[in-house]
Amino acid sequence: MRLAFIGGGNMGEALLAAVLGKGIAAPAAIVISDVAEARRQHLLDKYAVSVTPDNRAAIQDRDIVLLAIKPQNLSAVMSELRGKLRPAQLVLSIVAGARISAIARGLDHKCIVRTMPNTPAQIGEGITVWTATSEVTAEQKGWVRAIMGATGQEIYVEDEKYLDMATAVSGSGPAYVFLFVECLVEAAVNIGLPREIAEALVLRTLSGSAHLIEKSGKTPAELRRMVTSPGGTTAEAIAHFEKGGFASLVSEAVQAAHEKAKKLGEQIT
């Protein structure tokens, strides 16, 4: 397949590296358009792909046009590309919050896939939720599965509403995890552990626990109960979490993120 990347930032580069690393496309089949000369030079030097500052030139003779730009730049890019796409060209968007209807209007185009990846895609450990318009063919869906699957896991959904929900969970979720890690490390330091040891304990505990959930066949609740002996140290800590309304706080935070995602989507026209 022949790809054009409109935008070569961090997520665009993560997808580029995954596509090349998995052999989905060769460097000769990829062109990247980016406004920053330094960024273009970096991508040219590191990946040997074609680069250009011209979005219209980039999309010529491409099977897939991958929009990897910031939401605030989307309107200008769509205005530039409007009417320049062939009907069968697949537009694959990773633009946060940008709904299919807005992309379709802005580009005057119908063959569109909207995705919600997350930052662990940068190390091949991401997860992407995506959906497609009816004009997207089975072959093109296969391309999307290959591209997004190269960065981790991918989940296809029929209803676009799940993309805003995924934004609040998996899209923003890494930041929630990072915040918890920050807090747990600081708590460990506060009771006297050296920071280096505290960080090692927290990170390994987090990654090991995640793998245990995946491999044990047990639910998180079951595993939590197995660790929580009555009257023990874990029970004491869990009681304090519950007293502070931990579960309610998490629920309220995700709900707030979901509402914000919907509002941001309404603002992109």
Residue 7, phi then psi, degrees to nearest 5:
110, 125
Predicted local confidence at residue 14, as pLDDT: 93
* Inter-CA distances, 118 with 1, 16, 34, 126, Å: 24, 15, 21, 6
Give per-residue pLDDT as tens, 219-246: 999 999 999 999 999 999 999 999 999 9
- Which pLDDT score, from 0 to 100, does residue 264 have? 86
Do residues 40 and 51 touch, judged by C-beta distance below 8 A?
Answer: yes
Per-residue pLDDT tens over the stretch 75-114: 999 999 999 999 999 999 999 889 999 999 999 999 999 9
The predicted-structure confidence for 28-49, as pLDDT tens digits, reads as follows 999 999 999 999 999 999 999 9
Q: Per-residue confidence at 268, pLDDT binned at 50, 70, 90?
A: confident
Identity (one letter) of the amino acid at 158?
E
Angle at 144 between CA 163 and CA 89, to 5 degrees: 105
Q: How confident is the model at residue 17 (pLDDT cuts 50, 70, 90)?
A: very high
Report the distance separating Cα 115 and Cα 119, nearest Å.
13
Report how far residue 141's alpha carbon sits from residue 136's, in angstroms, rounded to the nearest whole number.
Answer: 7
Average pLDDT of the residues of the chain: 96
pLDDT higher than threshold 80 for residue 269: no
Greatest alpha-carbon span in the chain:
68
SS3 131: strand
pLDDT-derived band at 129, boundaries 50, 70, 90? very high
pLDDT-derived band of residue 125, with 50, 70 and 90 as boundaries?
very high
| DSSP 3-state of 219 | coil
* pLDDT higher than threshold 80 for residue 201: yes
Tell me what percent of the residues of the chain surpass a pLDDT of 90: 95
